[in-house]
Structures are given as structure tokens and as C-alpha cells.
Chains A and B, each alone.
Chain A
Amino acid sequence: MYRAYETSFRNQTLTLKEKFFNISFSYVMFIVILAAIGIVTLYSAANGHWSPWAINQLLRFAMGFVIMIALALTDIKLLMRYAYVFYFLTLILLIVVEVTGHIGMGAQRWINLGFFKLQPSELMKIAMVLVLARYFHTSSLQSIESIKGIIPPLLMALFPAFLIVMQPDLGTSLMLIFTTAGIFFAVGVQLWKFGVLALGALIMMPIAWHFLHEYQQNRVLTFLNPERDPLGAGYHIIQSKIALGSGGVFGKGFLKGTQSHLNFLPEKHTDFIFTMLSEEFGMVGGIAIVILNVLILAYTYSFAFKSSSYFGKLVAIGLATNYFMYVFINIAMVLGLLPVVGIPLPLISYGGTVMLSIMASFGIILSVHINRNVQIGKD
């Protein structure tokens, strides 16, 4: 049934069935394996119980899987056409969250849809990639290399980043900025401009410091010196390192992680799930996770390179960068290489929004792959 995509389909529209069989089976398999590992780890995190986490995670993954397939089968031209609409809708949602958040006197990051709490900041990560891909798809290299040409996308990136910082969600905001920077770099913005921006950011830093909430300041300070507060914020990272290190090469065994099960390890089902996994399955388990993620990224890159449209390439690269940010920041954070910024490990950490947004981005990547032969004009 599988039909080679070669030249005969060039410039032709695929049927839904053909599209379905063009979904990269290996790619989906990696995703399923990672999610399965996540669910198993959540089962252990609940001391060998399906509830409350593993079962919910399974349901969300199933939901995410449907979304992924649906997006994979979506026409890439549609994604490009509605990129701006999607971006602005998400921006409005961010503003709504910001406003209701203020009214509620608390740091609210989601919109309650009843069955599901929607975090617009997560949607924004995808919207940002799509909108920038569309922008750069239509602009010339000349324009990209000019200052005038990069001011609109810069503003498109900084405004939501600012809104997310105000929520306050430092981690997501930084991720958005890094992903944006990655896209800017990929499209060919000259390095000296990054230098100027970095310098500007450096100068802004002391000012920005005052705008940071105290707990955010503490997180940064504690990252720089974890012993500063061994019972507070530093406690997390110290216990995480103990859990990891004591796991050794082969780990303490499934359900046998002492640090996690005796509650020395905080947030073991969310941000610190990689630690728990590495405590129970050792370095072998940890490296397996890294390799699976590298494979997913490598496949995504290959999809990008195979895509015949600039939009498709950039979308895949942008989403790959976004995904990489999650994986790297989370693991580096629990390994004590980065401050504890509250970024989950995609597919593994317990959490609905990230699961769904990540599955959606996989769907878009698969769509880029399926539509790799579709040419997209500059209009």
C-alpha cells in the first residue's frame, strides 16, 4: 500500500490516504516510545499506581496523538495561509490571560476550557515558528540582512515574550526568545546583529533584574551558587544531583528509587522526572532518553532538508529548535547545568498543555514531511 513519493507526485495534491501512508513510521515510533517511557515513569512516581498521573498522561497522549495525526494530514499551504491569524489569535489569548491574571491578583497562565486548561504561551511557541517562517518565506535575503527587514519579526517575537515574562513565566519567555533567535540565525541574520542585541540585553540586565520577581531572582542566584540556600531553592538541585548520582550506571531499579520514593526529590513527576528516571534506570536510562531525542531531532532536520519549500524547512527547523530547547533546558536544569526555570521534559513530564502543544508541533513537522514536494509561492 505504501507508495513511493517520487517524481510522479510532484506538484500534485496527495489524497488523504496517501498522506496517511506517508507519515514517517519511525518518527512516530520514537515519539510513542518516549511517551511510553514517560507513562511508565509516572507509574513509578505514584509508587506503582496508575492514578493520579500515569493514566491521565496516557489519555492526554492519546488526545495529542489524534491532534498530531490530524495536523500531519493538514495541507501545509493552509498552515502558511493562517499563520498570521493563528499568531494574532494567540496574542489576544495572551493578553486576555494577562488581564484576567491581574484581576485575579495571581499569576494565572491558562484559560480554563472546562476539560482542559489552555496555556496561550504554549500555543505561542508554535504560532511564533509559523508566523516567522511565513514572514521569512516571503522576504528576500537582502531584506533579511537589512535592519529594516528584521524589525517586524523582532517585534513579533518580543511582544509576546514580554507578555509571558509579565505572567510571570521566565522560563517560557526565555525559551521563546531563544527559539526566535535560532530562527533568526537560521535565516541568515548577520552575527554582529546578535552581538548588538546581546550587548543591549546585557545593558538592560540590571534594569530587568528589578522587574524580576523575588523568587525568580532567587532561582538565578541559587543556580549560580546552589549551597546558598540548601533547604530552599538549592535543595531541589542538590537532591536532584544526589538522586542522579546515586543511580549509577544501571540505576536502582524500577520503583526502587529511594530519593524519589522517599520524597527527597521534589517535583519528581513534572520538572524533575528525568532525575527520577535516571535514578531508577541509571545512566543507561538517561542516555536512552537523550538518544531518542537526538533521533527525533535528526529526523526533523532531515525532513527540513527534504522539504522543497522554504516555509516547510523553516517550520521544521523552528519547531526542532523549540523542541530542543525543552529537552536541553530541562535536562541541563536537573543536572545542575542551568538554573531551575520550570521547563518540563516533553513527552515524559506530567502535564497536559505541553503534551498537546508538543504533539501538535510533531503533527506540523510530519505535515512538512508529507508535503515535502509541495512548492509554495511567495504570495
Chain B
Amino acid sequence: MNRDNDKGKVLIFRSLIMAFGKLVLMFVIIGRLYYLQVYQADRYKTLADENRISTRLLIPPRGVIYDRNQVQIATNKQNFQALIVAEQTPNVQETLDAFKKIMPLSDAEEEKIKKDLKRNRSFVPIKIKDNLTWEEVSRIQLHASDLPGIIIDEGLSRYYPFGEKMAHVLGYVSSVSDKDVKDDPLLEVPGFKIGKSGIEKLFEKDLRGQGGNLKLEVNAYGRIMKEIERNDGIPGKRKDLTIDSRLQEKAFDLFGEESGAAVLLDVHTGEILAFVSAPSFDSNILAQGLNNEEWKALTGNMKKPLSNKAVSGLYSPGSTFKMIVALAGLEAGVIKPDTRSFCAGKMFLGNHAFHCWKKVGHGYLNVVEALQHSCDIFFYETAQKLGIEKIAEMARRFGLGSKINIGLDNEKDGLIPDKEWKLKRFGEPWQQGESLISGIGQGYILTTPLQLATMTARLVNGGYEVKPTFTKLSDDELQNINKINVSKEYLDIIKEGMFAVVNKPGGTAYLSQFDYKGQRMGGKTGTTQVRRISMKERQTGILKESELPWHLRNHALFVGYAPHDNPKYAVAVLVEHGGGGSSVAAPIAGKILRAAIELDPTKEEIK
């Protein structure tokens, strides 16, 4: 019985120990609850929110670009695209395979999708294919049950109604590359596109707008339960350009198969009305992304469609430079308005012969006639008397030799040589012969078509230092355009010469003249050699242009303005390897100027 008593006591004692142990363990639980729900509560609250809230950036619609007449030249088009959300499909590869059965994907496309999938979190929708047609959209929706995780998204994609005709003005948008500065979270959004060249790049910040935020509550499977917060962001600003789409289209079409550039300016404001570089590319295709073949076709093309010849192409101005030389000559007094000098077809400097383009010579010419006939000897002599420094100085006043900075990529400085430059560049002193060559716009001198248009505008606008621009200047800015220090009288003589080129018989662009209600154009042709004509060839007869391979033919140039009485438009046209300035470039320029006058909004008043 004693033992039984002990047995009961042991039970009570041991049970109490156990009960105590249990109590301790319960306190451990309470302690743990305190640790998790008080001490670490903030951390877990954040984690819970990260779980449930999925923030998506809303892409703002890109600003629409208009021409000067409110025509949309870069706009946004509805675009159906198929997206895949990795976390919404049990097996990404299976879904992609199923998708491929409905719509084939190239290996490159598939690789890109996989790269994007790897780079992004699993709830981020990744583009599989865009620009889907209605028919393709309905086909995908029909097979929706086989395509978990695939969603059709209706987005906006950039559309350029004028395609290649405006490509060198507008540029294009494309996916953000690793090189782009990621200063905006929008750039991290897959499929987001930014301006890569042209106006799209120049005004990228304005056009882009500000991204919005969409905070969504999602469940564990990524399904959207509700919208928590939405901030639409700010749409991109519209941009109004000075381009006139009708003139742009006309100018582009005039080039046909030719390679070259044309710039049409308002001479008083510098507003660019047409800006062509041909051949061109279709901005729409670049915005969608090129495949390898298309890329090779663009980069391998001898006529370099990707290069913007109006600002990046460097060409000898040839005879279009003669106005500068004439003006410098008049200002320096080495030529007088009425003095005539004799052209015998060639002249000698030392024992080196300089030829006029007209072998038999022009006879006696004054400065106006020299421009009209584009006599080389007259300008050799003028340049010889002037020296390079005075020519260079005048050229610079008219915008040659340095960038205008209109904001496009690869704008070139061009080159107006002088003695200092030659010494620095070659370590050799300037030769007088080089001054002579410069007198007819050959030699070292290099200009861009944009610079030539600028030069022409400044020559005919009364000597104002206008700068080409794609956007309208404010009245203030217009008031502040500097006057170039040059005599009005001499400018009128130059204008008279340019008028004669087109409108006087014997003028080099006589065949390109027009008379639209009494309004005529003036201008100057230029033909520049891209090869040296040897003595031997001169003796045996210079080869005809048509006998030469394309890349050895002369460049054809024309700078012009209209209307002559009260100039408003200036144009520079360059046709690479086009042959002659009078036969190829002048007709194009004439048609552009005529169109400009015909379309001029103030033409009724002029009448």
C-alpha cells in the first residue's frame, strides 16, 4: 500500500513537472508571436504588400508630330500584340510551343522572348509578337485554352504615315538598347520604344511624356483581383514642325531613283519646309525592328539610305560657291559691278593651266554674266586677287564651314580652308593655285546641302543670319536674327546674277525656269567632279558622264530661291553622281520652288 501511495505521488509530481513544461512551451509560442507580430511586423507587412501589390508602369501615349498645316506626320496606331506572362503558365516552353503551332516564330524571335523572360520578373508580360491582324487575334483567342499565360494586349505603336518620305526628318523609335541612358523607369518597361534618330530623338523628352502607375492587387497566382491605384501619367507633348508634308512629299518624289538631298527653307525665318535625303528608309519598319536581311539590304546599299545626306553628306559646293567669291570680290573691290574681264577658256598660273568648263571661253563678262554662265576663269582671277582668307571669311558669314546645329545626328561642319588650316592639317603653306580652285568651289572646300540652303537664304533675304530650324521661332527670336555685315547693293548684284542663271538665255539653268503668275526663281548650278581629269583625257576628249560608272559621275548641285522679286523660299538640291547641275539638279529645284510658291498661303496677297 505504501508503494501504491508512492506510485500516486510520483504520478502527481511528474505530472506537475510536465504541466510546467507545457506551460513553458506555451510561453515560447507567445514569445514567438510577439517576435513575429510586433518586433518583425513592419518587415512582414512590407513583404505581404510585395506579395499582393503588383505595380505596373503605364506607358503614356507618345506625342503626335504635326507638320505646319496640322497634318499628322508621326502618330500612334492601335497595335494588337500577344504577350506572355510567365507566372500565369505552368510551363513557358509548352505555351510557346503551342503558340508556334498557331503562328510561327523565328528562332531569333524566340531567343529574344526567352531573353526578355529571363530579364524580367515572372508577372511582367513579355511581348511575343506584335502588329497582329484581326484574323490572327481571333485565331489566338480561339486556342486560348491551349495557351495559358498568353494575353492579347491592345497597345499603341508609332506610325509614320509618310514612311520613307519623312524618315530623315522624323527618324524613328525603337527598343531601348543597353547603350541608352536609363534615366526614366519607363525605359525599363519591355517593349518600350524611344526616339533613336531625327526629330523623335531630338524631342524625345517632350514626346515621351511621363509614365503612369497602376497598382494592382494580385493573388498568389498572379491574377489581378482589383485595381488599387491608378495614375495615368502625362501624355507626350505634341510637336509642331515647320515641315510642309506636301512639299516634303513632292521633293522626295522628285528624286526618284536618284541619290541626293534637298533642303527647302523659308528665307526669312530659316524654317525648314522640306528636308530630303534620298534614298531613304521606312521609319515604320525600323520602329518594328528589322530582320537580318532587311538590315543588310539597308547597310549594304551603295546609295546609303541610312545616311542623312542633307546634314552628313560632304560635297564640294562647286559653282554654287561662286556667289560667295563674287561677294567677297565686290566687297574687297577686286571686281567692280560693271568691269568686264576676258575668258579665253583657260589661264595660266606659273606654268599650270586652269581650264574653264567652256573650252572655247566666254569672252568678256561682268560679274552678273560670269554668274549667269558660271564662267570659271572669271572666278579664278577674282580668287587669285582676293586670296583664300577673304573668301573663307565671306563663306563663314554665310554659314559655311561650321555646324548649324539643327539637332540631327551626324551633322557635319563642312570645311572652309584657310592658310592656317592648311599649315595645321598638312604642315605645308597655302598655294596660290589652291585659292584659284577654291574660287570655283572645288579643292578643299566641303559643304553640306543644309549649309548651301542656308547660304542661299542669307544671300537673298537681305543678309540676315537665319538658321534652319524644324520648329517655329518665337517673335522674339525672329526679331533677334542678326544682320550680316554685307552691302545690300552687292547682294542685289549677286541676286541679279542668280536671276540671270535661270532666266537669261545662256544661263546655265535657263531650261529650268518657270513663270508662275509672274513669279520666277533665281539660282546657281554646280557640277563637281569626283575624279581628277588627267591631261591625257583632256587631250583625247573628256568622257561623257553617261560613259562613266555611277560612282565616278559628277555630283549635280543647284541652289535657288523664289520668287525673285521678293524672295521667300531658298532651296539647295544635290544629286549624287547625277551628272550636271543644270540638267539634273536645277529641274528638281525648280519644281520644288514652283510647288512652294503655288502652295504659299499668302499667294493671294502677292497677286
Binding site for B on A (CB under 8 A): 140-142, 144, 182, 185-188, 239, 241-249, 258-259, 262-264, 278, 282-283, 286-287, 290, 293-294, 297-298, 301, 304-305, 310, 313-314, 317, 321, 324, 328, 331-332, 335, 337
A–B Cβ pairs within 8 angstroms, 7 of them: A141-B3, A241-B36, A262-B52, A264-B219, A278-B33, A310-B11, A317-B15
Q: A249 and B7: CB pair below 8 A?
A: no
Q: A249 and B37: CB pair below 8 A?
A: yes
B4 within 8 A of A: yes
Taken together as a complex, chains A and B put the C-alpha atoms of A261 and B8 apart, in Å, by 51
B218 within 8 A of A: yes
**Could you tell me the dominant secondary structure of chain B's interface residues?**
helix
CB of B44 to closest CB in A, whole Å: 3
Q: Closest B-chain residue to A313, C-beta based?
A: B11
Q: B45 and A246: CB pair below 8 A?
A: yes
Among the listed B28, B37, B44, B47, which residue makes an inter-chain contact with A286, where contact means beta carbons less than 8 Å apart?
B37
Q: B22 and A297: CB pair below 8 A?
A: yes
Q: Closest B-chain residue to A304, C-beta based?
A: B15
Q: A283 and B33: CB pair below 8 A?
A: yes
B51 within 8 A of A: yes
Q: Beyond A262-B51, A301-B19, A324-B22, is A248–B41 a contact (Cβ under 8 Å)?
A: yes
Q: Closest B-chain residue to A257, C-beta based?
A: B48
Q: B26 and A290: CB pair below 8 A?
A: yes
Most A Cβ at <10 Å: residue of B4, B19, B28, B221: B19
Q: B51 and A142: CB pair below 8 A?
A: no
Taken together as a complex, chains A and B put the C-alpha atoms of A2 and B30 apart, in Å, by 37
Having A244-B44, A246-B47, A335-B32, one finds 10 other A-B pairs with CB under 8 Å, namely A140-B3, A185-B18, A245-B41, A249-B38, A278-B37, A305-B12, A313-B12, A324-B22, A328-B22, A332-B25
Q: Mark B1-35, 1 if CB is under 8 A from A, else 0.
A: 00110111011101101110011011011101110
B43 within 8 A of A: yes
CB of B384 to closest CB in A, whole Å: 85
Taken together as a complex, chains A and B put the C-alpha atoms of A187 and B18 apart, in Å, by 11
Find residues 203-234 in chain B having any chain A CB closer than 8 Å to their own CB: 217-221, 225
Q: Beyond A297-B19, A304-B15, A328-B29, is A242–B10 a contact (Cβ under 8 Å)?
A: no
Taken together as a complex, chains A and B put the C-alpha atoms of A294 and B26 apart, in Å, by 8
Q: A245 and B43: CB pair below 8 A?
A: yes
**Could you tell me the dominant secondary structure of chain A's interface residues?**
helix
CB of B49 to closest CB in A, whole Å: 8
Among the listed A246, A293, A310, which residue makes an inter-chain contact with B8, where contact means beta carbons less than 8 Å apart?
A310
CB of B215 to closest CB in A, whole Å: 13
Taken together as a complex, chains A and B put the C-alpha atoms of A159 and B128 apart, in Å, by 60
Residues of A close to B36: CB separation below 8 A: 241, 244-245, 335
The 5 closest A-B pairs by CB, nearest first: A245-B44, A246-B48, A188-B10, A262-B219, A263-B220
Residues of A close to B33: CB separation below 8 A: 244, 278, 283, 286-287, 290, 335
CB of A298 to closest CB in B, whole Å: 8
Taken together as a complex, chains A and B put the C-alpha atoms of A110 and B448 apart, in Å, by 90
Q: A263 and B221: CB pair below 8 A?
A: yes
B410 within 8 A of A: no
Taken together as a complex, chains A and B put the C-alpha atoms of A263 and B22 apart, in Å, by 33
Residues of A close to B43: CB separation below 8 A: 245
Residues of B close to A243: CB separation below 8 A: 44, 48
Q: B44 and A241: CB pair below 8 A?
A: yes
Among the listed B7, B11, B18, B49, which residue makes an inter-chain contact with A182, where contact means beta carbons less than 8 Å apart?
B18
Q: B37 and A328: CB pair below 8 A?
A: no
B40 within 8 A of A: yes
Residues of B close to A335: CB separation below 8 A: 29, 32-33, 36
Taken together as a complex, chains A and B put the C-alpha atoms of A188 and B12 apart, in Å, by 10
Among the listed B11, B37, B217, which residue makes an inter-chain contact with A244, where contact means beta carbons less than 8 Å apart?
B37
Taken together as a complex, chains A and B put the C-alpha atoms of A249 and B40 apart, in Å, by 11
Residues of A close to B218: CB separation below 8 A: 262
Taken together as a complex, chains A and B put the C-alpha atoms of A305 and B11 apart, in Å, by 10
Q: Closest B-chain residue to A294, C-beta based?
A: B26
Q: Beyond A142-B3, A258-B51, A297-B19, is A246–B41 a contact (Cβ under 8 Å)?
A: yes
Residues of B close to A140: CB separation below 8 A: 3-4, 7
